[in-house]
Amino acid sequence: VKLVLLGASGAGKTALSTRFVRGTFDGENASATVGAAFASTTRALDDARARIKFEIWDTAGQERYASLAPLYYRGATAAMIAFDARDGASFERARYWAEELRKHGDARCRVLLVGNKIDAVRDDERATAREACEALAREYGMAAYRETSAKTGEGVQEAFEDVARAVMTREMSAREDATVVDA
């Protein structure tokens, strides 16, 4: 699975990747990603016999690097659009990335919207945010919306598994369609 992480600067993309790949959180000492960073890991999904190799491209969130993002999401089988759940501007930037993927990404790319830093959001703030996030995910035909905390690890494994399952489902569907055409 070639997965690209997109989102605003400070959304926690690097922290999500690090938590998933190494099981650690370095967020307090993290510096902004310049260009992009790459990480790789192979995992077995709990409900599937297959082992999935994740090739994760962590893109820079700063505005000045936005023009480089297509180099990383071109050919991606999956994308995670992350935003800081505490920051409305970060959420609006997620909408920008959803639109960019719609216009310039591969139509077969499975996308997951991720509200990160959920550990720092009060419960009464979450319900409204969750509704708006789920609506955005539906509007852009994303696989799902998932809330995460790279700091505590909450939802991180599940987010990566969700997007891997969406890719596997799409690939199985494509194979079935090809079989029907060949028959």
pLDDT tens-digit profile of 34-57?
667 899 999 988 666 778 999 999
Q: Which domains does the chain have, with CATH numbers?
A: 2-182 (3.40.50.300)
Phi first, then psi: give them for residue 20, nearest 5 degrees. -70, -45
**Residue-wise pLDDT tens digits, 9-31:** 999 999 999 999 999 998 666 67
Q: Contact 6/69 with Cβ under 8 angstroms?
A: yes
Tokens of 50: 């297959």
In percent, the amount of the chain with pLDDT more than 70 equals: 86
User: Residue 103: its pLDDT value, please?
Assistant: 93
Mean pLDDT of 109-137: 88
**Residue-wise pLDDT tens digits, 151-162:** 999 999 999 999
* Average predicted confidence (pLDDT) for the chain: 88
Query: Rounded to whole angstroms, how far apart are CA atoms 162 and 132?
Result: 20
Bridge partners of 115, per DSSP, are 83, 147
Mean pLDDT of 77-94: 95
Q: Contact 62/52 with Cβ under 8 angstroms?
A: no
